[in-house]
Structure 1
Amino acid sequence: MISTLPVRGWRLAGLMLLAGALAALSLPPVHALFLLPVGLMILYRVSEDARSWKQAAWCGFLFGMGFHTVGLYWLTNAILTRVHEFWWVVPFASPGVALLIAPFICVPAILCRVVRPGWRRVLMFAGSWTVMDMGRVFMFSGFPWNPLGSDLELPGFAGDVMIQPASVLGVDGLSLALVLGSLALFRGRRAAVAVLAVSVLWIAAGTWRLSSATPLNITNPRAVLVQGNVPEAEVISHADAVGNFRRYLSLTAQGAQKAFAEGGRPPVVIWPESGFPGLLDEDTLARQMIARAADGAPALVGSDRESGKDWFNSLIAVAPDGSIAAIYDKSRLVPFGEYQPWILPFNVLPGVLTPGPGLKTWDLPGMGRVGPMVCYEIIFSGSVTARNDRPDWLVTISNDAWYGNSAGPRQHLATGRMRAVEEGLPVVFANNTGISAIYDATGHETARLGWGRADVLVSDIPSPLPPTFFSRFGRATPLALSILCMVLALVPTQRKKRDWDLGVYKG
């Protein structure tokens, strides 16, 4: 018989919200990893002991509300930048987004009940959790923020080691491993020993890859990352557009002078998203001023762009003579930030952007083969390089001033680190208020410019590694492993009469 839960009603609801909130503390930048097994086990046991599949689904939903509300608390800061207009949205920012994605956690809470107790349920829970988490890319324009695999992106060398298997499994494969390991810890001494043994092998594999990775014989340019630290209120209002432009020009001149004085690799200047306070493709004089400040180096500059009735969030490559060498229009837009999904019957956005045609690889003088991206696009595992046109380095420009000095910019930065490991490519992350950083092709941080500083960072862009297993096969690998877990959970090992009640096995 199915046992009854020790708590019910509001106590049960509070327990599930708390379990989800505790599990969220395992995410960057807190990395309280020991809380993840506790939170997941509470959800798993409550789902097992629920009186019906509906109660299990409700518990999964509440866990998701706690997890995503805490993990995405920083979304409230974006509303505060325009609080005079949208003050009424403040209490609903992170809970509202959590409300949309929490139902994905209902599925593992239900499906683990349709198989016999024991390892089958663990496999079903872990496999279905990962499949549903991967499915978040199909929600609106996609919202795969904070997969559990990012928990392993610990600071420094420890994190470098732990995330190396992403070169094969991707971040979703890391999520699958974490869920399996978290639940196995509570299945007795032998299972705990097995988790320890796998962890040792995991660390050994990561250490081996770090020590044996041999970069390709490709020399990328030197990055001059310009971080203007312009407050978001000024970005929106253009209150001091001229002054902010001059600040960026001054920092550019400082960085270019330093890069040329040091010699070595040719530099490329990189401004962040919203770096130029206007329409750069229509402003020849501004491009010439940027070119002069860059002292002959090409520049990548974030700017809005208008074409007919369409508005784009763009990255514009400015040649040394001030002409436009290339334009990339952001193709993955932020739901509720850059476009409004159909789910809201009223308008909360001052304007709606148009998505670009898709990812590109530029091969430009002084830059080499670079894959340009704008902000949100870096979070999509397996979708950061143009198909069949692999670049030698990736650049993503961003403006995380929206989210203040919170977990948001740090979680965003962590996605760039994970993409570097998955693709075997160095990632350059340029941000208006920080954090700006450069990761080599193993996800090791080689340079950083902290939050809230107006400064310039000059550092070489590391060479790429050969294509990784994940870069060849993408998310098919973690998806196949997750489905395999679910299939194994359904395969019977002995004949036994089963009693099914609304799809729930009574064991």
Structure 2
Amino acid sequence: MRSGLRPPRLTRRGRPPLRSLAVDAGLGLIAALALAPFWVWAAAPLAFAVLIWRWARSPARAVFWRALAAGAGWFGLSLFWITEPFMVDVARHGWMAPFALVLMAAGGALFWAVPAGLAARLARGWRGQGAAIAAALLLSDWLRGWIFTGFPWAQIGHGWIATPVAQLAAHAGALGLGLVTLSMACLPTLLWRPGRAGLAPGIAAAVAILGAGWAAGLDQLSRPLPQDRPVMLRIVQPDAAQHLKWDPEWASVFFGRLLDLSAEPGPRDLVIWPETAVNFLLNDADPVLPAMAEAAGAPLIMGIQRREGSRFFNSLATIAPDGSVTDIYDKFHLVPFGEYIPWGDALARVGITAFASQQGNGYSPGPGPQLMAAPGAPDFQPLICYEAIFPQHLRALPERPGWMLQATNDAWFGRFSGPYQHLDQARLRAIETGLPMVRAANTGVSAVIDARGRIRDSLALNTAGRIDAPLPGALPPTLWLAWGNLPVLALLAVVLGLACGLPRRAGRRFSRG
């Protein structure tokens, strides 16, 4: 056996040496550079290619540890923004920040380690092991969007969002983009040949996949979009810093900004304010609703909290020009421990309440996905903050909307990676559905995104201002809307079946030790 292919030594418990695990962790961190705010798209397929090469030649009992280390690197960098909410009130919550990051990185890493370790044990041969691990990682990405209420953030396919390859999501969703990444990464291992050929066939095949995906995306982007709708939007970004947002004196300043920016000269048919735009409840808003409507000079859609009995909701409300409330949407997919806590009423008795809610012990969920009416504009699907990261909600409506609106308060996410990753996922939702996405963010990035995920207009992070832009047109329903993730999941099941059914002799030419 060639010395370069000799498997690494293991401890008695099957764990690789710490120096070797550090290499896996570093490769996971490098792969995460494909995500916002770095957007080094090549980092993910290159780093995963090395990881799969290493894992395919490792004993099955070592793959769990290797995937755990790589996952810690990937999630540690991509979810670093999770520390930001704890820094809003450093004196009270700052000590929790490192624990939050460690727990999120470790939890995400387990979503890699468990399926990768299981796939390695079931696979036949080193080629089968490489393919099975890649398929298991993608299945884990899908499962992460559902289990424990779901958290499909920092998925493997998200590294393509800023490239033409992202257009493939109209056919196969974010999971399909992950399939592109791991297909490219697997081919050098699967097509490796001893002798002079070596990795050349696999690298050539990976480049061919990249070229085909890039060309297909460019072709999609070159095709004209439908005409813009005859609806002029005004999106208002007040730039209310999170540590000042609920302070009574500053709240009046931010409310004044909302009114002044809404009232500035210029045509508008619909005015949009971000999530929890004001510090008072909708129940108490009657005295100021006429002033808000007058400043808007058009129907107003605003994020606001409201109360029903002892329950509180994170909501969107449509305010007519006469100041009346004509439609309400309640956020239904709440952030665990941020907007609600399991057994919240009981835990509130000992002082444990939801982190982000400003009223009550936490929010109650709304009934589910729904359409909202916008006077003078097509009906739209409302998404409040976190809800826009869940693609399954876009397929849950009985009727297709004309556009999507995400009202969010990304001030919680800091200034580094979180707001940009959130924006990228909004772009991906537009590509998947063929619908424009309008984004109103408290501190940014507010944006108008067309049906191919391109940003038409935007306001920079931590800037007060407004966007006046027409509502982009919608494309016909996409293949992903019709089938969802089913085709990719079926393909992954086939790959796993083949990888776990290969004859043992397939691995004899490349011993794993």
Q: 1:206 aligns with which of 217, 232, 250?
A: 217
Listed as ranges, the gaps of 5+ residues in structure 1 are 261-266, 500-504
Q: Which residue of the partner structure matches residue 156 of structure 2? A: 148
Q: 1:63 aligns with which of 55, 60, 70?
A: 70
Instruction: Quickly say closer, same or farther: Cα 1:22–1:214, change in 2 above 3 A.
Output: closer
Letter in 1 for 2:208: A
Residues 111-143 of structure 1 show CA distances to partners (whole Å, capped at 9, x for unaligned) of 135323354333312211111110012232211
Q: Does the aligned pair in 2 maintain the 1:417–1:443 contact within 8 Å?
A: yes
Q: Does the aligned pair in 2 maintain the 1:64–1:103 contact within 8 Å?
A: yes
Q: Displacement, 1:414?
A: 0.2
Q: Which residue of the partner structure matches residue 423 of structure 2? A: 413
Is residue 298 from structure 1 mapped to residue 306 from structure 2 by the alignment? no
Q: 1:129 aligns with which of 126, 137, 140?
A: 137
Higher mean C-alpha deviation, range 398-407 or range 422-431:
398-407
Q: Displacement, 1:203?
A: 1.9
Q: Which residue of the partner structure matches residue 270 of structure 1? A: 272
Higher mean C-alpha deviation, range 25-34 or range 183-192:
183-192
Is residue 170 from structure 1 mapped to residue 181 from structure 2 by the alignment? no
Distance 2:284 2:488 in 1: 45
Q: Does the aligned pair in 1 maintain the 2:119–2:136 contact within 8 Å?
A: yes
Distance 1:450 1:31 in 2: 17
SS in 1 for 2:243: helix
Distance 1:309 1:218 in 2: 43
Is residue 422 from structure 1 mapped to residue 432 from structure 2 by the alignment? yes
RMSD of the TM alignment (CA)?
2.5
Q: Which residue of the partner structure matches residue 108 of structure 2? A: 101
Counting only pairs closer than 5 Å after superposition, residues 296-445 of structure 1 correspond to structure 2 as: 297-340=298-341, 347=352, 349-350=354-355, 351-384=361-394, 386-445=396-455
Letter in 2 for 1:174: L
Q: Displacement, 1:183?
A: 2.7
Q: Displacement, 1:335?
A: 2.1
Residues 207-252 of structure 1 show CA distances to partners (whole Å, capped at 9, x for unaligned) of 222233553x782622101000011012243442222111110011
Higher mean C-alpha deviation, range 173-182 or range 281-290:
281-290
Residues 174-227 of structure 1 show CA distances to partners (whole Å, capped at 9, x for unaligned) of 101101102324542122212222222212221222233553x78262210100
Higher mean C-alpha deviation, range 223-232 or range 350-359:
350-359
Q: Displacement, 1:148?
A: 1.5
Letter in 1 for 2:400: R
Q: Which residue of the partner structure matches residue 290 of structure 2? A: 288
With structure 1 as the length reference, what TM-score do the two structures score?
Answer: 0.89
Q: Displacement, 1:73?
A: 0.7
Letter in 1 for 2:157: G
Q: Does the aligned pair in 2 maintain the 1:362–1:369 contact within 8 Å?
A: yes
SS in 1 for 2:306: strand
Q: Which residue of the partner structure matches residue 358 of structure 2? A: none
Q: Does the aligned pair in 1 maintain the 2:127–2:507 contact within 8 Å?
A: no
Q: Does the aligned pair in 1 maintain the 2:340–2:353 contact within 8 Å?
A: no
Instruction: Quickly say closer, same or farther: Cα 1:238–1:50, change in 2 above 3 A.
Output: farther
Q: 1:190 aligns with which of 194, 197, 201?
A: 201
Residues 289-333 of structure 1 show CA distances to partners (whole Å, capped at 9, x for unaligned) of 1110011x1111011111112111111111111111111111111
Residues 254-298 of structure 1 show CA distances to partners (whole Å, capped at 9, x for unaligned) of 1xx3125xxxxxx21000012122112431122211110011x11
Letter in 2 for 1:90: A
Q: Does the aligned pair in 1 maintain the 2:37–2:417 contact within 8 Å?
A: yes
Residues 456-485 of structure 1 show CA distances to partners (whole Å, capped at 9, x for unaligned) of 110011010110000111122222222222
Q: Displacement, 1:498?
A: 9.5
With structure 2 as the length reference, what TM-score do the two structures score?
Answer: 0.88
Is residue 26 from structure 1 mapped to residue 37 from structure 2 by the alignment? no
Q: Displacement, 1:147?
A: 0.9
Letter in 2 for 1:447: D
SS in 2 for 1:285: coil
Higher mean C-alpha deviation, range 68-77 or range 233-242:
233-242
Instruction: Quickly say closer, same or farther: Cα 1:489–1:298, change in 2 above 3 A.
Output: same
Instruction: Quickly say closer, same or farther: Cα 1:131–1:220, change in 2 above 3 A.
Output: farther
Q: 1:10 aligns with which of 14, 18, 31?
A: 18
Distance 1:372 1:439 in 2: 15
Q: Does the aligned pair in 2 maintain the 1:303–1:314 contact within 8 Å?
A: yes
Distance 2:40 2:506 in 1: 43
Q: Does the aligned pair in 2 maintain the 1:140–1:341 contact within 8 Å?
A: no
Counting only pairs closer than 5 Å after superposition, residues 444-483 of structure 1 correspond to structure 2 as: 444-483=454-493
Q: Which residue of the partner structure matches residue 83 of structure 1? A: 90
Q: Report the count of equivalent residues.
A: 484
Instruction: Quickly say closer, same or farther: Cα 1:99–1:220, change in 2 above 3 A.
Output: farther
Distance 1:387 1:274 in 2: 24
Q: Displacement, 1:496?
A: 5.3
Q: Displacement, 1:387?
A: 2.1
Q: Which residue of the partner structure matches residue 195 of structure 2? A: none
Instruction: Quickly say closer, same or farther: Cα 1:37–1:342, change in 2 above 3 A.
Output: farther
Q: Does the aligned pair in 1 maintain the 2:37–2:416 contact within 8 Å?
A: no
Q: Does the aligned pair in 1 maintain the 2:60–2:117 contact within 8 Å?
A: no
Distance 2:28 2:388 in 1: 26
4+ residue stretches of structure 1 with deviation over 6 A?
none
Distance 1:237 1:311 in 2: 20
Q: Does the aligned pair in 2 maintain the 1:123–1:488 contact within 8 Å?
A: no
